[in-house]
Amino acid sequence: MSQSSLPHLTRAQAPLTCEIDAVNEYGEPQKIAIPAERALTVYVDKRELVTLMTLGAHPELLVLGYLRNQRLVREVGDIESITVDWDVGAAAVKTRHGIADIEEKTARRVVTTGCGQGSVFGGLMDEVDQIVLPEHAHITQGQLYGLVNTIRLKETTYKSAGSVHACALFAVAADAPEMLLFVEDVGRHNAIDTIAGWMWINRAPTLVASRTALPPEGAELARGGPSLRSMAPTPAASPANNGLTGLVFYTTGRLTSEMVIKSAQMGVPVVVSRSGITQMGHQVAQTVGLCAIGRATHKRFVCYSSPQRLHLQPELAGPKLRPATEPV
């Protein structure tokens, strides 16, 4: 795809936190930081589509990923521009040729468990059977521990203000996983949609289709837009061309069906969560052959599906703790 066919994106970032006056348990006044939350109403070709509640760090990528994950737009080149104006809380999406049958595609909504989003367009399961994930993509137990530790050491809005979810995208090669992108938002769906938007516009490597390197440093978007790399919430580097064994998606939120579907649509075969998984999330993961790992903290985890993608190294887990009821 040529650079001229990429959409023009504004860079309408907003502050992630704000300071308020509060009172602690001793009755003492104090100033604390809390996450910002603002409404962003998305218009597609002047037609109101949805209102997303978001921190607002990377709204253009959020909108782009949302359109892709809702299967409203098939190709990134179908979008001419995304313009965000925080003064009015709106994102104006201009397509090149319109969206066919948009009324039909958006007529049915499903209320979801997702915080910060609330509903998605119907037909979530319609294309699950068409998803093919790379057969040999995997992660080792040691790499999983490295990934979890990278998240633990990350300076985050959550550490300073709380009340947000985080998602991250990692490339796994022969050595330690490389964090390509880290995103926080009021809802985990916003965070994963932002990552999906970044992957889409950067043509980030997946193992589903032929792998393409990211554009060179300084490559510009169409119509004089910002650097592709500068759009990333954290600096992103292209993973090594040799030895890539897969992409891994990390989330602090639970693995519901829609989170698993979105990960699979992004071509990511391994998903790691600090939380657990729902029954439907488990069913979808089994259907598409996705390795779902939950309760991942420190050296503890549970692999819920496709354990063949996780190369176990149980000696790294340390001594096995006896249950409290087990006699010494």
**Residue-level pLDDT at 230:** 36
Q: Is the pLDDT of residue 163 over 90?
A: no
Model confidence, pTM = 0.77
Model confidence pLDDT, tens digit, residues 176-215: 899 999 998 888 889 999 999 999 888 655 433 333 333 3
DSSP 8-state assignment for residue 46: T
Q: Which two tokens stand for residue 1?
A: 């795809």
Higher pLDDT, 59 or 214: 59
- What are 253-310's pLDDT values in tens digits? 889 888 999 999 889 999 999 999 988 899 899 999 999 999 999 899 999 999 999 9
- For residues 142, 143, 147 and 149, what is the CA-based torsion angle, rounded to 10 degrees? 30
6 pLDDT above the threshold of 70: yes
For residue 8, pLDDT beyond 70: yes
Q: Where are the domains of the chain?
A: 3-19+30-124, 139-317
Bridge pairing between strands 246-251 and 270-273:
parallel
Instruction: Give percent of the chain with pLDDT exceeding 70.
Output: 76
Q: What is the pLDDT of residue 111?
A: 43
**Mean residue pLDDT across the chain:** 80
The CATH number of the domain covering residues in 139-317: 3.40.140.10
pLDDT at 4: 60
How many Å from the N-terminal Cα to the C-terminal Cα in the chain? Answer: 65
Instruction: Note the pLDDT tens digit of each residue in 92-146.
Output: 999 999 988 777 767 655 444 444 444 454 555 667 888 899 888 999 999 999 9
Give the number of C-alpha atoms closer than 13 A to the C-alpha of residue 196, restricted to the C-beta side.
Answer: 30
The pLDDT of residue 209 is 35
